Structure 1
């Protein structure tokens, strides 16, 4: 359990150090890049889905959006009027951003009004991220959908992305091979646990 807590803290620090140290009053490189891109997209009237596994991170982004007077909606596990929040984002052009916790909004949403998706942090399971991205990439989408993944350099996030790639390669081997076990030996299986 201590290891899992440590990994969670490393993931939070990669997002913004103030997520673990509330006395931290400096900038975050990731937040600066998120806001730079949002400023550009806001000026061009795009709608953006912003996913994070951490509600606290979404609230930090919301504070920055408030400071810029950007309209947004937020959907987390704490949201009681889910349908109303979704409808508000879809119908209201002044709501340019939809902040969504990955677990609350990864499935069952059709948000084709958005043409940009921001993944603020990687999740261990690449399928969960793919489901989130598919909220914008649905039947009825008339525009190209652009996806930005924000990965902090030299952080636990790079390790997670590497793990995702290995999981995908493993899944592809099993799905696309007539005899998937033939391509595996003890070493290739042990690499999954590195």
Structure 2
């Protein structure tokens, strides 16, 4: 992440509110992640929520590629001056049209995911159209949107822990079986060694 991209005024990445700071951190990290060339080095995600966001965005692309095909047509008339207003308008339309907050029992984590993923798609479009200079503004824009619209609701749902639980990398069954086998073998080996040492002492 380029330090020159950081928001000023003690807000955003510099906020004293951890919930807000993570919201901006995820925005900056995710846009850097989707814009990073495959052969380029990208540092590990800066926090667990950002790591879950990277993973969930990749999963969404694999499972629902149709989600990504419509946005180039939507963004075709965007300019550097209209990118952020258009992103905010789309987010208001899609996120605001979900179940009203006072009727929700659970946090709409999929909607939260879509906010960041949509911002990533606009960033990709702008870069491909020679408007990479607007990307820092998009980072700030989506961070501010999450701070204003989503963070108040996050406070009532344990912060980002639910997002991490929902979208974080899950250990697959094969990995679990290997771990069980490893510990079983280790315990068995320890037991055998202990038995032989005990038997040798008895002799």
TM-score by length of 2: 0.27
The structure whose residues are more often helix, as a share, is: 2
Relative contact order, higher structure (CA 8 A, sep 6+): 2
TM-score by length of 1: 0.28
